Chain A
């Protein structure tokens, strides 16, 4: 399936797009309601999100904690900057591995696309080096945060 695109833009951006067969209201809710977030933003099989705080209002706090149930885990903290309900959310986030990664500024837009939604995540990293590091090594932790343990995905036996 090639519904998703992931590409770099300029020196410091990464842009991800994805289409969903549900209206913007639903996709927005799945990105802002903690009870929904923790059902899908998990990465490979076996990982869960025991803690999910997502206050979708300016100044609101975000905290996602993941664990694989075997003592491995990490977490993300962030702050919500701007919200237009069902359309747009801007936040900054960082992964704690446990040392914090540089801030990733993420603008998420939810646009009507036929009967569905076009989601665009526009990420801005502090500089080209940070983006390079995120793309080359840290992205398994660094993006929306859940693509954890890429090796789990890499090794067919583990899937």
Chain B
């Protein structure tokens, strides 16, 4: 399976609260650096630096609109991360489904033993 992005970079990018907040804001729609900087007590260059990490990780993209460069979520990157987490969930489920069967066995044996008493 190809994820089309560097998952290491993507998860590292997510490991910062400011960057997660930026993603949460962009989930509501496109925004400029100015708009993104507003809710944070941070300089524009600091926000730009975070945006660069997010863009390099394939999670955010931009378009050029005159002098502005509005940012938005990179759908592909976000979906790839989602797929990856979904796969981890499935891997875990393999074990837990096996445990379900085992537990059903344990519970049944207990009932049998209880009935005999």
User: Interface size for chain B: under 10, 10 to 19, 20 to 34, or 35 or more residues?
Assistant: 20 to 34
A147 to B14, CA, bound (A): 23
Q: Does B91 contact A (CB under 8 A)?
A: yes
Give the Cβ gap from B76 to chain A, nearest Cβ, in Å.
17
A150 to B95, CA, bound (A): 13
Query: Considering only CB atoms, which chain A residue lies closest to B110 in the complex?
Result: A26
Greatest chain A CB density within 10 A among B7, B8, B91 is at: B91
Stretch from B21-29, B36-44, B101-109 forming part of the interface with A: B101-109
Q: Are B94 and A44 in contact, CB atoms less than 8 angstroms apart?
A: yes
A4 to B90, CA, bound (A): 9
Contact of B89 among A4, A21, A23, A26 (CB under 8 A): A4
Some 11 contacts from A to B, beta carbons below 8 A apart, are A5-B89, A6-B85, A20-B96, A23-B107, A40-B96, A40-B98, A42-B95, A43-B91, A43-B94, A132-B8, A153-B94
